[in-house]
Each structure stands twice: as structure tokens, then as C-alpha cells.
């Protein structure tokens, strides 16, 4: 998946601003967008006065693929020019709740206002009812006084860098099971203290980069470092509250998933989720550009830290699919694919994260009709199976057969996974005498006898496996005799004797009761 520079620029464009705190129109906001407009053509509200070629030569409107280059750099003099601010009837723009973006050139429009996620959305929390302590929103304030000193050339450069970062993130996260292995590292192997220190360091680096964008204002004393702190808090709203909260790693992974996915609506919403007020369209667009760069810088740098860390680790396992022959169908969602990868790897924490996200259908099956329970059995992952059997609600159907006709218990018995067999029988009351109509009505006991798994045969017998079950006319004892499994035959014979003895005892007791 790739996104062109045009795509990212269009996402940063704000073509309509919904006004607040005023009964009148401000003629300042009806003017054409200046050179800092990320969308080169004027918005519908500003199509009257100024031709596009007068906008300092910069047009980032959609172009054919062969015309991607920007014609001229942005003029710092223009970006530094201070507009006259209205003295009354301030027109405040809340970009988080009241801004909308003209995506008429997109096939998929921006989600309507009422569907945009708030601070409790799935983008920055596990689920709306997750119980996570919500952070108080940063004061919106108004940053117009400092934004007149923003360096437009650097903003354009940041957009180019952000575009490269989002393409690299998407390419890496969707290659094999990289996302799943990285998620497991963040959830289980990376100490919480170090994770928070890394986040703090990355945000500190962004402060340094942002100071370069406002260099002129800082030198003139018109912009203070505290202003930069306030601006970062307003733009990167996820930090520190949700990212440093009890489910901060889940929040981090949710945002990484959105940045690297093809869910266009979620992607647009994430990049435009800014809690700031301004009177100026150009400033609004600059702030959205800064939002995109800050997000992608933090997430890309942390992922790259992991990649460098693992490349120096001789014990690191390669980030490839565990079993490329067993995959969900191509039409399966990326969440389902990652769930199967987590099961194959035995990553309980990642599976739990996917379940908590609310996006995973735990009861779904793949193209071979294998459930996640079946996959855990096939890969002998008792910890994952225990989670699926005891923590997932509603309870999963452990007797659902795969395309081959085998139930999970059939598969466990066939492969000799004694711990898994015990768990299926003890935790899920799997049907011990389930038959496979595609295999001559074989029961799990038949398969365990055929493969010579004595321990599994014992578990099945203790759970009440039928000694007289017929696989095309063959009993388990006959099968053991034919296969030359003497120890299993002894086990079955003794079980038969015990069964016959108990049956005689029961008959005698019944006779005594009748007499």
C-alpha cells in the first residue's frame, strides 16, 4: 500500500471551517487561501478574488502522476506577514469538532461530524467502555500570535517527510507478521519504564524540531518555549494522557494500525484530530500538517528503534509467517490475519489486544473452516487455547469441525498434544466421541490409537471415550492390534475389563434392589 504526496496533502487540507462564537461573517476568512494552503485551489468560500497563480507560485492541488513536483518554495516573508486580527466577534475554529475537509476529489468522503471519534474512540482506546481513565483535554487557546512566525518552507518539507514515513510504516507493518511480532515486543518484552522513557525522548526531539519551525519568533522573543510546549500538547493530544496511561501500549498499537492500514476514513480522522482554535485558515492547515508530522515522527522512530534493536539481537527470530501454508483467506480482514498469526506464534498478549480492540471476530473461521481454537490446537499452543477457552465471551464452539471433518479434539488426538487434549476435555467439555463423517466416522480415540499416542488414549478413555465406536466397522482395540501398538492394546483391554466388571457390579446391585 502506498500513498502519494498528493494524498497526504489532500488529507491536510481544510477547505471549509465552521465558525463559532459569532453571529457575523468575518471577511478575513472569506479571502482566498494564501501560499500556505496545502490545497492549491481556492475553497468554495473563497473563489472570488485572487487567481491561483498569485499564491506565491505554490499549488499542491491534485495533479496527474507525472506532475508531482512543487513548482516553487514557499516564501517565508509571506508566512511571517501578520494579518490584522478582528477586535470583536472572534471567529473561533475548533478543528476537532467543527472543521470539515473537502474530499470531493476522494471516492471516500470524510466521515460525517457526528461519527468522528472523541477521546474515547477506538483510535485512542481499546473500547469506548474500556474503563480507562480519560485525560482532561488540553486548553484550546488561540495560537495565532505565534503561528504568524511559522516557517512555511519547513512545513512543506515536513509533509514530504511524513509521506515517506507513512509509506514505510505501511510497507513494513503489512509484511509477513511484522506487526504481530512488534506488538508482542511492546506488550510483553519491552519494560514499561523504558517505553515511557522512549516516548518522552521522542516528544522531546519533536520540541527541538518545532523550535526550528518557529526560529524567527523565538529569536525575536515573540514566541516562548512554553508556547511550544502548549502547542505540542494541543496537537499531540494522545501524549501523555492516553499513551502513558494503563493501556498506553494498546493506544500506541491502535494508532500504528491506523497509520499503516488502508482504512481511509480512520486514517483521515486520525490526522485531523486536533484540539485547537484559530481564526485563520492558513494557520489551521499548518497545524494539521504539524499534526501529521508529529504523529508519524513518533511512531516511525519507535518502530525503527525496535527494528534496529532486533537487528543487533542474534537471538531474534525473523519476522515472517510461522506457517505460510496455513493462512486465512485473502478476503479476511487484516485483524483476522493478525489473530491467526498471534495464535501460531503463541502471543497471548497480542491476541488479547486484538480482542480488546473490538475489531476481531473471535468466532470467525478461515478458508479451511478452521477456528482460532483449531489453529491453537494445530500449533500446540496451550496458553493461547487456555485464553480462548476461559477468557473469551461468549464461549466458543470447540466442536466446530474444519473442512477436513475433524474437530479440534480430533486434531489434538491425531498430533498427540496431550496437554491440549486435557484442556479441551477439562475446560470446554469437548465431545469425546465426535465422529468425522469424512474419515469413516473416526473418533478422536481412533486417531490417537492409529498414531500410537498412549498418553492421549488414556486421557480420552478417562473422559468416557467409547470402546465400541466403529470406524468403518473397526473398533479402537482392533485398530491397535492391527497397527501393532501393544501398550495401547493393553490399555484398552484393561479398560474393557474394568468396564465389564463395573457393568456386572451395577447389574447385581440392580437385581438386589429389585428383590
* Cα distances (Å, whole numbers) of residue 253 to 34, 144, 163, 181, 289: 37, 33, 20, 12, 22
Supply 244's cell numbers. 502513558
Q: What is the pLDDT of residue 199?
A: 94
The pLDDT of residue 33: 24
The label of the residue with cell 485558515 reads 281
CA distances from 206 to 1, 78, 203, 286, 297 (A): 27, 25, 5, 16, 8
pLDDT tens, position by position, 138-150:
345 678 888 899 9
Q: What angle do CA 90, 91, 94 make, to 5 degrees?
A: 125
Query: Is residue 233 within 8 Å of 134, Cβ to Cβ?
Result: no
What is the rounded CA–CA span in Å between residue 366 and residue 403?
A: 10
27-42 per-position pLDDT tens digit: 333 232 223 233 333 3
Question: Would the pLDDT of 99 be above 60?
Answer: no
Separation between Cα atoms, residue 410 and residue 399, nearest integer Å? 9
CA distance 161 to 150: 18
Q: Is the pLDDT of residue 101 over 50?
A: no
**The pTM is what?**
0.72
Compute the chain's Rg from CA coordinates: 31
Determine the pLDDT at residue 398.
96
pLDDT band, very low/low/confident/very high, at 170 (cuts 50, 70, 90) = very high
Average pLDDT of the chain?
Answer: 75
* 277 secondary structure, DSSP code: E
Q: 414: closest CA among 387, 380, 388, 369?
A: 380
Domains, in order of start, for the chain: 5-311 (no CATH), 334-514 (1.25.40.20)
Burial class (CB in 10 A: 0-12, 13-18, 19+), 87: exposed
Least confident interval from 128-137, 250-259, 449-458, 504-513 = 128-137
The gap from C-alpha 255 to its chain's centroid, in whole angstroms, comes to 7
What is the distance between the alpha carbons of residues 253 and 126, in angstroms, rounded to a whole number?
Answer: 10
Q: Residue 505 — very low, low, confident or very high, per pLDDT cuts 50/70/90?
A: low
* 124-126-128-130 Cα dihedral, nearest 10 degrees: -130
Residue with cell 525575536: 220
Amino acid at each position: 500500500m502506498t500513498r502519494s504526496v498528493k494524498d497526504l496533502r489532500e488529507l491536510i487540507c481544510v477547505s471549509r471551517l465552521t465558525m463559532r462564537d459569532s453571529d457575523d461573517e468575518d471577511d478575513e476568512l472569506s479571502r482566498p487561501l494564501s501560499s500556505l494552503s496545502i490545497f492549491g485551489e481556492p475553497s468554495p468560500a473563497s473563489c472570488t478574488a485572487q487567481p491561483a497563480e498569485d499564491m506565491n507560485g505554490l499549488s499542491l492541488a491534485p495533479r496527474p502522476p507525472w506532475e508531482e513536483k512543487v513548482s516553487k518554495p514557499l516564501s517565508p516573508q509571506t508566512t511571517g506577514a501578520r494579518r490584522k486580527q478582528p477586535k470583536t466577534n472572534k471567529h473561533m475554529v475548533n478543528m476537532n469538532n467543527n472543521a470539515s475537509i473537502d474530499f470531493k476529489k476522494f471516492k471516500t468522503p470524510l466521515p460525517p461530524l457526528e461519527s468522528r471519534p472523541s477521546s474515547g474512540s477506538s483510535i485512542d482506546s481499546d473500547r469506548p467502555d474500556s474503563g480507562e481513565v480519560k485525560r482532561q483535554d488540553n486548553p484550546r487557546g488561540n495560537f495565532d500570535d505565534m503561528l504568524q512566525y511559522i516557517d512555511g518552507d519547513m512545513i512543506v518539507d515536513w509533509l514530504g517527510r511524513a509521506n515517506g514515513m507513512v509509506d514505510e510504516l505501511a510497507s513494513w507493518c503489512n509484511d509477513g507478521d511484522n506487526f504481530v511480532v512488534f506488538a508482542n515486543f511492546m506488550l510483553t518484552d519491552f519494560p514499561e519504564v523504558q517505553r515511557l522513557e522512549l516516548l518522552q525522548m521522542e516528544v522531546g526531539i519533536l520540541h527541538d524540531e518545532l523550535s526550528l519551525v518557529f526560529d524567527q519568533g523565538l529569536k525575536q522573543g515573540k514566541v516562548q518555549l512554553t508556547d511550544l510546549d502548549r502547542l505540542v500538547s494541543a496537537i499531540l493530544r494522545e501524549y501523555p494522557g492516553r499513551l502513558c496511561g494503563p493501556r498506553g501500549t494498546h493506544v500506541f498499537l491502535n494508532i500504528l494500525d491506523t497509520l499503516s492500514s488502508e482504512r481511509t476514513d480512520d486514517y483521515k480522522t486520525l490526522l485531523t484530530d486536533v484540539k485547537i482554535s484559530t481564526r485563520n485558515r492558513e494557520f489551521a492547515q499548518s497545524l494539521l500538517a504539524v499534526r501529521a508530522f508529529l504523529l508519524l515522527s513518533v511512531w516511525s522512530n519507535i518502530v525503527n528503534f525496535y527494528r534496529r534493536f532486533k537487528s543487533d539481537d542474534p537471538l531474534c527470530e525473523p519476522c515472517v509467517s510461522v506457517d505460510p501454508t496455513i493462512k486465512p483467506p485473502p478476503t479476511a480482514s487484516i485483524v483476522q490475519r493478525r489473530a491467526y498469526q498471534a495464535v501460531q506464534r503463541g502471543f497471548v498478549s497480542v491476541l488479547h489486544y486484538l480482542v480488546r480492540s473490538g475489531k476481531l471476530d473471535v468466532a470467525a473461521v478461515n478458508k479451511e473452516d478452521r477456528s482460532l481454537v483449531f489453529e491453537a490446537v494445530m500449533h500446540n499452543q496451550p496458553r493461547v487455547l487456555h485464553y480462548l477457552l476461559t477468557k473469551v465471551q461468549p464461549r466458543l464452539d470447540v466442536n466446530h469441525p474444519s473442512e477436513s471433518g475433524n474437530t479440534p479434539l480430533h486434531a489434538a488426538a491425531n498430533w498427540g498434544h496431550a496437554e491440549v487434549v486435557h484442556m479441551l476435555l477439562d475446560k470446554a467439555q469437548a465431545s469425546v466421541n465426535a465422529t468425522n463423517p469424512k474419515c469413516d466416522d473416526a473418533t478422536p480415540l481412533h486417531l490417537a490409537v492409529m498414531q500410537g499416542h498412549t498418553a492421549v488414549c488414556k486421557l480420552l478413555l478417562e473422559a468416557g471415550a467409547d470402546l465400541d465406536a466403529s470406524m468403518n466397522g473397526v473398533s479402537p482395540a482392533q485398530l491397535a492390534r492391527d497397527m501393532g501398538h501393544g501398550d495401547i492394546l493393553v490399555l484398552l483391554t484393561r479398560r474393557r475389563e474394568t468396564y465389564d466388571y463395573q457393568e456386572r457390579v451395577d447389574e447385581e446391585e440392580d437385581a438386589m434392589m429389585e428383590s
